[in-house]
Amino acid sequence: MQVDESAAVGTGLNTGGSSKAVLAYEAGLEQRKMMVRVSQVLFAIVFLSFWQWASGRIIDPFFVSSPLAVGGRLYEWTLNGQLWSHLSVTMLATAFGFFIGAGIGFALGLLFGKFAFLAEVMDPFITALYSIPKLALAPLFIIWFGIGIESKIAVSASIVFFVVFLNTFAGVRDVSQIYIHSTQIMGASNWAVLRTVVIPSATAWVITGLKVSVPYALVGTVIGEFMSSNRGIGYIIAQATGLFDTNSVFAGIVILMVVGAIINGLLKKTEGWLLRWKE
């Protein structure tokens, strides 16, 4: 019986030794992956070359800069330490904003998901708060928290909070009653049900919320820096804009792009690991 079934399943246990067909198949996949990579690099080279060529020929470099000028500026900033000193401020504010917003959003999402009455009572108020464009709160946060890092943390936390809160809430409401009842019968306390059933089951929703909210945290911080600050990547971009220094503006944007991409990549890895039980 067992032999039949495990053979039918296949994914559970493998035979161990790889056959020729398997090796050929895997080599094919590997080759395709390689082709994609090479094409990506080629595309980037073509794009950057065109930009470099067009700058000064078709378009005025005063407005669009050029890859070499942007690269030069980034190199300069790296050497004189400016890059790190501004980037660290922005990253710190983003990280704090993300963790504070996500933490509160997750906790309240669990609470509201658990107590349906509370959720029903608070529903219109939450909807009202959610409808405020959070960036409109930025001036208020600057009055409250000053032009330092605190106001930027507040802006990004307020954005992240709602995304994570709403996703966690939806995730908790989505948990199957069957799992809750069966674990209760097995002896789970309320806390154990939360830990072993509700949270893991809501993970898919929560992760989606986190993934969406990380770029928002970055946006919140940078917008806060645009408005009023004395450090950070947003500050650099705002300053450079004032001086019509497009080289620096582009350099700032490139930094934000790279940072955003790295964070997204990390989140994707985390998601893959946390949701490895799904197909």
Please report, for the chain, how many H helices and E strands are present, in that order: 13, 0
Nearest distance, CB of residue 12 and another protein, angstroms: 5
Nearest residue (CB) to another protein, 203 versus 213:
203
Alpha carbon distance 159, 149 (integer Å): 16
Nearest distance, CB of residue 68 and another protein, angstroms: 50
Nearest distance, CB of residue 208 and another protein, angstroms: 16
Alpha carbon distance 45, 51 (integer Å): 10
Contact status, residue 217 vs residue 32, Cβ threshold 8 Å = no
Nearest distance, CB of residue 5 and another protein, angstroms: 5
Nearest residue (CB) to another protein, 30 versus 174:
174
Residue with tokens 């922005």: 90
Nearest distance, CB of residue 111 and another protein, angstroms: 22
Alpha carbon distance 101, 221 (integer Å): 13
Nearest distance, CB of residue 198 and another protein, angstroms: 11
Contacts 24+ apart (CB under 8 A), 116-123: 119/169
Nearest residue (CB) to another protein, 1 versus 58:
1
Nearest distance, CB of residue 278 and another protein, angstroms: 7
In sequence order, what are the beta bridge partners of 55? Answer: 59
Nearest residue (CB) to another protein, 5 versus 63:
5
Using CB under 8 A as the criterion, which residues of the chain lie in contact with another protein when the complex forms?
1-2, 5, 8-9, 11-13, 178-179, 181-189, 192, 196-197, 200-201, 203, 276-279
Nearest residue (CB) to another protein, 8 versus 58:
8
Nearest residue (CB) to another protein, 59 versus 192:
192
37 to 31, 41, 42, 47, 257: CA distances (angstroms) = 10, 6, 9, 15, 19
Alpha carbon distance 235, 147 (integer Å): 11
Question: Residue 173: what residue type?
Answer: R
Nearest residue (CB) to another protein, 24 versus 192:
192
Residue with tokens 């500050």: 235
25 to 12, 13, 30, 34, 223: CA distances (angstroms) = 20, 19, 9, 14, 49
